[in-house]
Amino acid sequence: MSDLDATTPRVFLARHGETEWTKNGRYTGTTDLALTPYGITQVAGTARQLVGSGKLIDPANVAHVYVSPRLRARQTFDLLFSSNARAAGDAAAGGVPPLATEKVTVTEDIAEWDYGDYEGLLVGEIRARRKERGMDGERPWNIWRDGCEGGESAEQVTDRLDKMIAKIREIQEPCINNGGKPADVVLVAHGLILRAFVKRWLRYPLDDPLPMMFSPGAIGVLSYKNHNVDEPGFYVGMALPMTELD
């Protein structure tokens, strides 16, 4: 049985494009940075290649989109869907219709990890500050295990992501093997929270040593093995649908 069967819903993870702090690795949680010009180019390129009628993310197959309220995520959503739809034209002209308003939710549930006192710092700076205060004598600070002072703990992040996953499964479970009713879900958010989401989707604790990389402007894909909502999985790779050449 193929895992690429279109009757199995997918969850697409869309990371926002580059910001000024993305470039130098600063922890960016609540700080509302805009995309850089290059970040806009990153997302626009992803939209052109992967979003549209007959493409990997087909708006006609999307049941819901959850968007982080941060500016960089909202800009990314607009580039992926709204701008893409306007550029393609209306449905009557053979273009891609915009998503219905009721299919889009801007929510803190998928906002970036709240870094609290560590906002705007580099990993080395955080570890140095903690060391100066006599912390982490036996092992270096690790956000997946230790969380952030003045911000969120790993347990708090786990709780809110598990609630999001429950919402998604409520949408998708009735649509598995029902003749192909569209039920794809898209999350437009941030690098760390989306990697945390992958761990929770796979039912791993956040401190599980699962090394992942997620480039700005990139798309990740999750789904279910064997058309079974109790077998969440991720795509190591997948073939893209064939589209007409420009």
Per the residue annotation, which of 64, 102, 108, 112 is the catalytic one? 112
Q: Distance of CA 34 to CAs 18, 20, 37, 42, 244, Å?
A: 9, 8, 9, 14, 33
For residue 194, the tally of other CB atoms under 10 A from its CB is 23
Q: Do residues 95 and 193 make contact, with C-beta atoms less than 8 angstroms apart?
A: no
Distance CA 92, CA 231 (A): 39
Distance CA 25, CA 17 (A): 13
Residues forming a β-bridge with 189 = 15
Whether residue 72 is annotated as binding a ligand: the answer is yes
Whether residue 137 is annotated as binding a ligand: the answer is no
Token pair belonging to 66 = 């959850």
Strands 184-189 and 219-224: unpaired
Distance CA 246, CA 18 (A): 27
Q: Does 112 participate in catalysis according to the annotation?
A: yes
Place of tokens 């969120």: 152
Q: Does 244 participate in catalysis according to the annotation?
A: no
Per the residue annotation, which of 16, 18, 64, 190 is the catalytic one? 16
Whether residue 39 is annotated as binding a ligand: the answer is no
Distance CA 8, CA 105 (A): 22
Annotated binding site: 28-29, 72
Annotated binding site for substrate: 28-29, 72
The residues annotated with a catalytic role in the active site are 16, 112
